[in-house]
Structure 1
Amino acid sequence: MEIRKETIQDVDVLALEGRLDASLAKQLKSQVQDLIGAGRINMVVDLEAVDFLDSSGLGSLVAALRSVNKLNGDIKLASLQEPVRVIIELTRLHRVFEIFGNAAEAVESF
């Protein structure tokens, strides 16, 4: 479980690796709160290296989105593997998050 942060064109890209379950969800929430505290409100969550997503992971994504939306920011998702895409679609979160094929496309959309 790991989160790598990179800033591209004033957008923070959080590349997650591993299973987005309770333990990584806590790390993600903490990372997003740190960024918000630093005035950073536009983010891309790159899920290319995530092959599993549970309710804790979904909750952390939604909570992060709500936090940045309150400040007129946004979080976009990128590089969803098929198992993750299926869960996002089943929970209808594809109607809440903008989803892109890769992180570069998501960054450009800002």
Structure 2
Amino acid sequence: MTEFTVGKTVAQSEPQVTVDASSLSPGVHRFKLVVVDDSGNESEPTFLEIVVTDSGRPTAVLDVVNANGQRVEPKIAAGQPVILSGARSSDVAPGRVVEYRFTLVDRA
């Protein structure tokens, strides 16, 4: 397992890495991946957010879903509608999530 520190890159030849989640605080953590080819060319970065759940407080999770409520890749064509879903948000039982507040914060 690999312990990640904010801002420190873990470079390796293998395509998979096991994250030591014990070092991650509850909440959303954003990971970046850049790949390099055998000519030394770097890809554009791609990002992935993972959610570490809290053992005492509710945990918010935001997804993009289709009209049937199924999660989809968060890629949409310009001008097309997008459905945001907080349905995977959860609270520690017996608690429950009772309100979802969506805000467009900024462009990434």
Please report the TM-score for the alignment, with normalisation by the length of structure 1: 0.30
Please report the TM-score for the alignment, with normalisation by the length of structure 2: 0.30
Which protein is richer in helix relative to its size? 1
Which protein is richer in strand relative to its size? 1
Q: Which has the higher contact order (CA 8 A, sep 6+)?
A: 1
